Every structure is written in structure tokens, then in C-alpha cells.
Amino acid sequence: MRTLRLVLGDQLHPRLATLTDLDPGTDTVLMAEVVEEATYVRHHKQKLVLAFAAMRHFAAELRARGVAVDYVALEDAGNAGSFTGEIARAIARHRPDRVVVTEPGEWRVEAMMRDWEERFGVTVEIRDDTRFLCPRPVFARWAEGREALRMETFYRAMRRRTGFLMDGREPVGGRWNFDHDNRRRLPAGQAVPERLRFPPDAVTREVMDLVARRFPDHFGDLDGFAWPVTRAGALRALKHFLDDCLPEFGDYQDAMRAGTPFLYHGLIAPALNLGLLDAEEVCRAAEERWRDGAAPLNAVEGFIRQILGWREYVRGLYWALMPDYPETNALGATRDLPWFYWSGETAMACLAECVRDTRIHAHAHHIQRLMVLGNFALLAGLAPAQVEEWFLVVYADAYEWVELPNVHGMALWADGGLLGSKPYAASGAYIDRMSDYCRGCAYDVKAKAGAAACPFNYLYWNFLIENEERLRGNPRLAMPYRTLDRMAPARRDAIVSDATRFLDSLTASEGHPGGERA
């Protein structure tokens, strides 16, 4: 049977379900660089380079294995500019008996695929994505009939299902979660490991020229591009993380330091989400380090929880809740995204630093994203759709399946508590405790009121005041509401007037090329 096998830009794994039964004698692999995928949101320039360069390297590897690859480059004559357009052209060229694909990472793309069979009159087989550890139907069964879909319950079920860090039915070390050991501040002067980066080769440099020429007004720096774009590179990145960073990863996973964006973090999410690595091998490799005595359990458990727990959980939720999920706005947040999310031009040092890291590397770590950039968006009541688009644009690892639940649910609580039992709101004290940002800031983190006070301080209380009706009944917020109740009316008034003055002074990002859906 002549089969056309479509491999998408984030499906670059040698054992992808699309390729398992490939017959080199009759089959063709189709890969296509299409402008629609580059611009449905205006991705960071490095994210575009990563996708196109990794696709080109993957195609070369398949060809070296004797596979016929029909590769459509962005500027090839006749490029139709969309997956559907390119499938139509490829069907006309190859006249296949069937088309085989693996389920995509985004609902938008699956909706396209579901249309192809009828539209083109050819069998279209959409296969399960076996790179994930929890198949979509397994998640659906787990979620069925449950009132709360909590990550911790899911994670324990996944530990039992896969056997990672298990001792029979019980977790190794007698506990499921070592999180409270994982919140240390990075001591001043502590040296952090030199990180392995991957300078572009000739193929990647050609893609960098293409992106600079075709997408000049997309957000982000291009010059420092240094992400691995092959499986071999990604495996080296993984080994470097395991050797040099994993032992300290747990202790300092929530810490932030100015000028040091990578710390002990994995930096493997871009490769993992493209398919250059898979979740199982990454978890297995980390577990081995613990079994060999090379890394402590708090670090290894924390790392495995991110992948086996959180990553699989958000993917499961995404597919269970789409397409309605992004429509909710539980806190009625409507403020426009401020301009500084693109420019970094703000006197708030923490935000300026996180935007800067994001612009230079298409990367920021989870606490920078959640507790600085996301926390500000929550407290300032920024419109969820605008914040979600920003996160999808700017991070090299961001695809909607992972970005949307993390931002809509976790950071903004726009789903009203499906993901998180309470909004992740924090004042400046949290940022001060976990970073050295406040030392270089124009604002005073200890001051509670007035023009010199850290805006997170009054925005935090203002958020609780503004959303009182919705949040007061939440048992996890009982303590801050008791504090609020004890506040003198004059103090409450000062909070609201500081917050109003500050929020009114923000410049909206309307009109910025990165700020609007293309």
C-alpha cells in the first residue's frame, strides 16, 4: 500500500507512530514548512529557527536511512502555505492509497486533519502520539466522574502506572512529593554550572538568515540562538543536565538570580516538545541517576514530577477541555497587555529581567514565568487571551497543549479553579525571598504604600479586594482575607488608590507586531 506519511515540525522522533511501519520501497514522508504555522501567532524568531532547523536536520537523517522524504521548504515555488494546502499538493504528486499522521499537539491542527478524508477522498489514519506516557483515552478515563482534577492525584496514578520511583505499590523514600525541600534561595556568590549551548551549524545559519529576512518584526533576538536542533544534540543536552545540574536542581528549582537565567534547569523542554527527546527516556535517565547514587531523591523526584506528572497532566486536561477551555474568564480580567511585556521597559527590575531573558533566549524558567510574569498578569487583571498569546509566542517550548492550561488555568485562574485550588497570587516578598532582583530595583520591596513601594505589594491586596466576591469563600485564602478584614479603612483606601494610579499608568501594547493575532 502506497502511504504518504506527514511528519509535523514538533513530531521529530525516530520512533514516531507515523513512521513505525514505514516501507521504504513504497512510502513517502512529507514535511512542509508553511507560513501559516509560523504566523498563526507571531512566534519568537528563535522558535521559528528551532522548528525549521530541526525539521531540516530530521529530514536529512531520514534520507540517510534510505527514506524518501518530500520536503517542502518555506520559499519553494508553489508552497501553499498551510498543512491542508500542502497535503492537497502532495496527494496530487504521490497519489497515495492512504495518509498516515500522528495526532498533533494543537486542537486547531487536529480540526484541520479531521477534514482531510472527506475533502480529499483518501483514507487518513490519525494515530495516537506514543511519545506521551498517558494516552488521551487513559486520561479521559481517569478524569471521568472526578469532581476535582488535581495534579497530585494524577501524578500518583502515573507513578503506579509506569513504576517510576516506585517500590512495589509504594513510592521510594516513603513520600510522593519532596517539594518542601525544593524551595531554597540561591546563596549569594554560589557558582552555578557553565551551561552547554549549541552554536548553529551551516543548515541552522541558513534558517537564521531566512527567519531574519521573512519575519523581521517578530519578537526576540536571533543572534544568540544556541538550542540543540538534532536528536544527538538533545541527548548531549540531557546528559549535561544530568551530570552537571540534576544534583542541585531540586534545591534551587524555584530560585532566580539576575543575569543567570538557566541556573540548574533542564533546558530540555524545547527538544522534548519537538520530539527530539521523549518523556520516557528522560524520566528513566533521571531515575537511574538516583538509583546510582549520583543525584538525591528530592531532585530526581522533583524533575520526574515535572515530566511524568505536570507535563502529562496539562496535556490530558488540554484535550479533555478543548475547544471551550480558553473561553472562560473567571475573574473578569480585561486589561490590555502592557507594552513592557514586549519591550522590557519597566522600572520593575524583576519583570524587566524576565522579559530580557525571554527576548534573548526564548526561555525563562517556571518560576520566572509563573511567579513574576504570570503573577503580575493575574494581579493586574490582564485579559487572559492576550496573556496566553504572549506566552505562546515568546517561549521556544510553547505549544498550545502545554501553554494554555499553564497560563489560563495555573497562572491566571481564568478557569475558576479547574487546575489550581487557588490563584497563585503573591506579593513582592515572595520575589524578594526567591531572587536577588529587588536589590537592583527602583522600587522598595519592603514599602507597602506610596509611589516608591513595590507595586506587587499593593497589587496583591488590591487583587484580593477586587475579587472578594469570587475568592473570599476559598478556604486556602482564608488567612489573607482575615488580614484584610483587620486592615484600617484608610489602609485599604491607600491600597486601592496606589493600585489605580499604577495600573492607569501602564501603556497598552496595542499595535505592537507581537501583540496582536496575525
Footprint on this chain of ligand SF4 (rule: CB under 6 A): 348-350, 428, 431-432, 437-438, 441, 443, 445, 454-456
Beta carbon of residue 375, minimum distance to ligand SF4 (angstroms, whole number): 10
Beta carbon of residue 99, minimum distance to ligand DLZ (angstroms, whole number): 14
The one of ligand DLZ, ligand SF4, none whose footprint includes residue 342, by CB under 5 to 8 A per kind, is none
Closer residue to ligand DLZ, CB minimum distance, 396 or 419: 396
CA distance 464 to 473: 12
* Residues contacting residue 250 through CB under 8 Å, at least 6 positions apart: 178, 181, 182, 296, 298, 299, 300, 301, 302, 303
> Half-sphere exposure of residue 409, counting CA atoms within 13 Å on the CB side?
25
Closer residue to ligand SF4, CB minimum distance, 331 or 441: 441
Q: Which of 102, 104, 158 is nearest to 311 (CA)?
A: 158
The one of ligand SF4, ligand DLZ, none whose footprint includes residue 104, by CB under 5 to 8 A per kind, is ligand DLZ
The one of ligand DLZ, ligand SF4, none whose footprint includes residue 456, by CB under 5 to 8 A per kind, is ligand SF4
Beta carbon of residue 425, minimum distance to ligand DLZ (angstroms, whole number): 31
Closer residue to ligand SF4, CB minimum distance, 390 or 443: 443
Are 220 and 394 contacting, i.e. CB atoms less than 8 angstroms apart?
A: yes
CA distance 489 to 188: 40
In whole angstroms, how far apart are CA 441 and each of 57, 410, 433, 504, 506? 43, 27, 14, 21, 18
Instruction: Identify the three-state secondary structure at position 451.
Output: coil
Beta carbon of residue 447, minimum distance to ligand SF4 (angstroms, whole number): 9
Q: Which of 329, 376, 412, 408 is nearest to 506 (CA)?
A: 376
Beta carbon of residue 412, minimum distance to ligand SF4 (angstroms, whole number): 19
The one of ligand SF4, ligand DLZ, none whose footprint includes residue 105, by CB under 5 to 8 A per kind, is ligand DLZ
* Residues contacting residue 509 through CB under 8 Å, at least 6 positions apart: 336, 337, 338, 339, 341, 342, 386, 515
The one of ligand SF4, ligand DLZ, none whose footprint includes residue 426, by CB under 5 to 8 A per kind, is none
The one of ligand DLZ, ligand SF4, none whose footprint includes residue 441, by CB under 5 to 8 A per kind, is ligand SF4
The one of ligand SF4, ligand DLZ, none whose footprint includes residue 454, by CB under 5 to 8 A per kind, is ligand SF4
Give the other-Cβ count within 10 Å of 88's Cβ: 15
Closer residue to ligand DLZ, CB minimum distance, 38 or 499: 38
H or E, element range at 166: strand 166-167
Closer residue to ligand DLZ, CB minimum distance, 10 or 415: 10
In whole angstroms, how far apart are CA 217 and each of 44, 222, 237, 273? 10, 12, 30, 25
The one of ligand DLZ, ligand SF4, none whose footprint includes residue 8, by CB under 5 to 8 A per kind, is ligand DLZ
Closer residue to ligand SF4, CB minimum distance, 58 or 463: 463
The one of ligand SF4, ligand DLZ, none whose footprint includes residue 428, by CB under 5 to 8 A per kind, is ligand SF4
Backbone phi, psi, residue 474, to 5°: -75, 115
The one of ligand SF4, ligand DLZ, none whose footprint includes residue 228, by CB under 5 to 8 A per kind, is none
Query: What secondary structure letter does DSSP report for 306?
Result: I
Beta carbon of residue 427, minimum distance to ligand SF4 (angstroms, whole number): 8
CA distance 245 to 266: 8
Beta carbon of residue 480, minimum distance to ligand SF4 (angstroms, whole number): 18
Beta carbon of residue 61, minimum distance to ligand DLZ (angstroms, whole number): 16
Closer residue to ligand DLZ, CB minimum distance, 48 or 438: 48
Beta carbon of residue 133, minimum distance to ligand DLZ (angstroms, whole number): 18
Closer residue to ligand SF4, CB minimum distance, 46 or 346: 346
Beta carbon of residue 412, minimum distance to ligand DLZ (angstroms, whole number): 22
Q: Which of 204, 270, 275, 207 is nearest to 241 (CA)?
A: 270
Closer residue to ligand DLZ, CB minimum distance, 109 or 234: 109
Q: Walk across the sheet containing 69-72 and list its strands.
A: 69-72, 28-32, 3-6, 98-102, 123-127
* CB-nearest residue to ligand DLZ: 9
Backbone phi, psi, residue 516, to 5°: -130, 150
Closer residue to ligand SF4, CB minimum distance, 7 or 350: 350
Alpha helices (H) in 194-334, listed in sequence order: 202-214, 231-244, 246-249, 269-274, 279-291, 297-304, 312-321
Beta carbon of residue 457, minimum distance to ligand SF4 (angstroms, whole number): 7
CA distance 402 to 106: 9
* Residue numbers at the binding site for ligand DLZ (CB under 6 A): 8-10, 32-34, 37-38, 43, 48, 51, 104-106, 109, 399
Q: Which of 499, 404, 384, 342 is nearest to 107 (CA)?
A: 404
CA distance 19 to 69: 12
The one of ligand DLZ, ligand SF4, none whose footprint includes residue 349, by CB under 5 to 8 A per kind, is ligand SF4
Closer residue to ligand SF4, CB minimum distance, 431 or 471: 431
CA distance 41 to 469: 35
